[in-house]
Amino acid sequence: MRDTMLILHFIGLAMGLGVSFTHAFLGPTLSKLNKLDAQKFRSQTKALGTMGTIGTLLLLGSGIYLILPYWSAIAFMPMLIAKLILFVVLMILITMINWLSAKDLKNDAENNKKGIELLGKLTLLTAVGIVVLAVQVFH
């Protein structure tokens, strides 16, 4: 069962981190488009948000299972605690991006774009930080 959960965890990681990288590289392209084309482009990339959410849920579900053996010793594992804190931060950032994206599509709000772009960069940095900490903890 552990191997299955580890596989699901890595699939979730690929999906979630992949979306972060995609948004980081699509951001500059999006900023060069006119308002109408940018809005069309954002509505067509909405599936990426869904993929990121599914990946994050896979990470959460499998991560809970995978961390159970370490729970009794977590107080002695500061890097694991930092990784878990960064995961909570990641969840907050993703929620904020999803909220701003939904608001942007409904209200045609151009000013949300910069906020989403900044949150996307923070999300990418946070996700990479989580991966680095995971390698350090479970090395």
Helices 112-137 and 2-32: crossing angle, nearest 10°? Answer: 150
For residues 102 and 104, the model is more confident at 102
Token digits for 122? 């923070």
Q: What percent of the chain has pLDDT over 70?
A: 92
pTM of the entire predicted model? 0.81
Banded pLDDT at 98 (limits 50, 70, 90): confident
Domain that holds residue 97: 2-137
- Write the pLDDT tens digit of every residue in 76-91: 999 999 999 999 998 8
pLDDT score at 2: 84
Rg of the chain's alpha carbons, rounded to an integer? 17
Residue pointed to by tokens 């990121």: 52
* Domain count along the chain: 1
- Write the pLDDT tens digit of every residue in 19-61: 877 777 777 777 777 777 777 777 777 777 788 889 889 999 9
Token digits for 94? 């993703």
Token digits for 30? 């999006």
Chain-centre distance of CA 45, in angstroms?
Answer: 15
Q: Where are the alpha helices (DSSP H) in the chain?
A: 2-32, 35-44, 46-67, 78-107, 112-137
pLDDT score at 132: 94
Q: Do residues 12 and 18 lie in contact, with contact meaning Cβ atoms separated by under 8 Å?
A: no
pLDDT score at 82: 95
